[in-house]
Amino acid sequence: MPKNRNSYDFSVNGSGGSKKLLSFKATTGWAIAALAAVILAIMVLTYILIDFTPLRQTVRGYPSRESRETALENRLLIDSLQKQISLWAFQVGNIQRVMSGREPIDMDSIETLRNDEGEVDLYATMYAHQDSVLRGLVEKEAAMTSPGNGPYADLNGLKFFTPVKGMVTENFNKAINHLYIDIAAEENTPVYSILDGTVVSADWTDDYGYVMIIQHGYDLVSVYKHNERLLKKVGDKVKVGTPIAAVGNTGRLSTGNHLHLELWHAGEAIDPANFISF
C-alpha cells in the first residue's frame, strides 16, 4: 500500500544512531496545528512577562500600572474642575440677571434659565470658546499694571474700604479660574461693605453658607461668602464701611474661618487686590 504523501515520520535516535528513542507519525494538518499552538504559547508567555513583571518597564511606550493610575486620577481631577467651572458660570449668570434687573435663580432651576425667552446661553458660549477666552484673560491680566489702566479706568479714584481685617490666604488668579480672594480671620470678625450700595441677595447656600451680594455704582458687584451670619437683608441700602456680616466657616466648601470675596465689574470678575488694601 503506497504511503500517504501528507504523512511524515518523526524519530529521535540515540548517539551514533544505534537506538531509536522516540518515533511518531504526523500529517500536515497536525504539524500546522502544533506550530500554531507553540506560537500561541509564546505569545501568552510574552504577555504575562510584560504585563505582570518589571520587564514591562523596559518596553518603550508601554504604560506602567502607575501611569494608568495617574491618568485615571487626572481624569477625575478634570471632571471636578469642569463641575467647578460650571458652578462659576452659574454664578456669573445670576449676577448678570441681578444687574439687568431680574431675579436670581436657584441652582435647581438652571433649565429655566436655559429656556428663558431671549436669554443668552452663557454656558454654551463659555464652553465653546473656553480656550480662547482663557488666553484672552491671561493676556488682559498681563497688560493691566494698575487700576487706572485699561477698561477699569473709570474705577480709578474710588475709595474702597477693606472688607475684613485678616490675612490673604488665596489670591485672585484668572489663569486657573480662581476668581476671588480668600481672607482668613477670626470667627465673628465684622465684614464691611467695600462701597456704597444696595443688598441684592442675602441668603444661605449649601456650598457657600451665608452669602451676601451688594450692587454698587459703576457696574460693580461685590460678593461675600462663608459668613457666620448676615446683618443686612435684600433691599437694604449700605454705606461704605458699614458692617454687613460676620466672618464664619459655613458651607460645604469652606475650610476654616475666612471671607471669600468676589468683585465683578460689568459682568466680569476682577482682582479686588487691584483696588483694595488688605
pLDDT by residue, tens only, the chain of 278 residues: 444 556 666 666 666 656 665 666 667 777 777 788 888 888 888 877 766 666 665 655 555 666 667 777 777 778 777 777 777 777 777 676 666 666 666 555 544 444 444 444 444 444 444 445 455 555 555 444 444 445 666 787 789 999 999 999 999 998 888 999 999 999 999 999 999 999 999 999 999 999 999 999 989 999 999 999 999 999 999 999 999 999 999 999 998 999 999 999 999 999 999 999 98
Measure the CA–CA gap between 132 and 68, rounded to whole angstroms: 30
Q: Is residue 135 part of a domain?
A: no
Statement to judge: residues 110 and 196 lie in one domain: no
Statement to judge: residues 122 and 226 lie in one domain: no
Instruction: Provide the sign of the torsion angle of the four alpha carbons 70, 76, 77, 78, taken in this order.
Output: positive
Statement to judge: residues 92 and 33 lie in one domain: no
Statement to judge: residues 198 and 259 lie in one domain: yes
Which segments within 115-219 are labelled E, that is strand? Answer: 167-170, 181-184, 190-192, 197-205, 209-215
Statement to judge: residues 152 and 268 lie in one domain: yes
Statement to judge: residues 265 and 160 lie in one domain: yes
Statement to judge: residues 156 and 267 lie in one domain: yes
Q: Is residue 16 part of a domain?
A: yes
Statement to judge: residues 155 and 248 lie in one domain: yes
**Domain that residue 107 falls in:** 66-128
Q: What is the pTM of this model?
A: 0.49
Q: State which amino acid sits at residue 257.
A: N
CATH number of 170's domain: 2.70.70.10
How many domains are contained in the chain?
3
Statement to judge: residues 29 and 83 lie in one domain: no
Measure the CA–CA gap between 152 and 223, rounded to whole angstroms: 18
- Could you give the maximum distance between any two Cα atoms of the chain, in Å? 118
Statement to judge: residues 209 and 244 lie in one domain: yes
Q: Is residue 137 part of a domain?
A: no
Q: Is residue 44 part of a domain?
A: yes
Statement to judge: residues 75 and 37 lie in one domain: no
Pairing status of strand 20-27 against strand 7-13: antiparallel
Q: Among residues 58, 78, 96, which one ends one of the domains? A: 58
Statement to judge: residues 73 and 53 lie in one domain: no
